[in-house]
Structure 1
Amino acid sequence: MEKRVKFDFEIYFSNGGNLKGEDFRLDIEGDSISDEELADYIVEDMRLLMVGEVKILRKVIFEEAHKRK
């Protein structure tokens, strides 16, 4: 079975403001993903600029079919 990760995040921008997400889900390869890899992935995937700090919260990895091709 394939793995997915469910997590909350907080992204703080260096020019002010922030973005928060709850129960965000992503497909992952393998059985785990580090907070740093996860932060890099969401920043790149969402094409965010001027990112300062990223916090990954309440991360849970579970089995579920991947949603992306």
Structure 2
Amino acid sequence: MEKRVCFDFEVDFSNGGGIQGQGFRLDIPGDDITDDELADYIVRDMRLLMVGEVRILNKSIIEEAHKRPANTGSEPTST
């Protein structure tokens, strides 16, 4: 079975403001992913600019089929 990570996140922008997400799910290629890797993928996948701090909260790994077509690389994908 494929693995996904389910988590909440908060992003602060260096020029003020921020965004947050709850129950966000991300396809992962292995059995685990670090908070730093998740933060990097959120920023890249959402094409965020001027990011200050990213906090990952309530992270859990779940068994669930991936939602995006397979990538040629090893980057996780979000849905």
* TM-score strictly above 0.5: yes
- Give TM-score, length-normalised by structure 2: 0.86
Identity score, percent: 74
- Report the alpha carbon displacement of residue 56 of structure 1 after superposing the two structures with TM: 0.1
Alpha-carbon distance between aligned partners in 2 of 1:33 and 1:59, rounded to the nearest angstrom? 10
Instruction: Find runs of 4+ consecutive structure 1 residues off by over 4 angstroms.
Output: none
After TM superposition, list the pairs within 5 Å mapping 1:1-69 onto structure 2. Answer: 1-69=1-69
One-letter identity of the residue aligned with 1:54: V
- Gaps of at least 5 residues in structure 2 are 70-79
- Gaps of at least 5 residues in structure 1 are none
SS in 2 for 1:32: coil
One-letter identity of the residue aligned with 1:67: K
The two structures, once aligned, show a CA RMSD in angstroms of 0.3
Aligned residues: 69
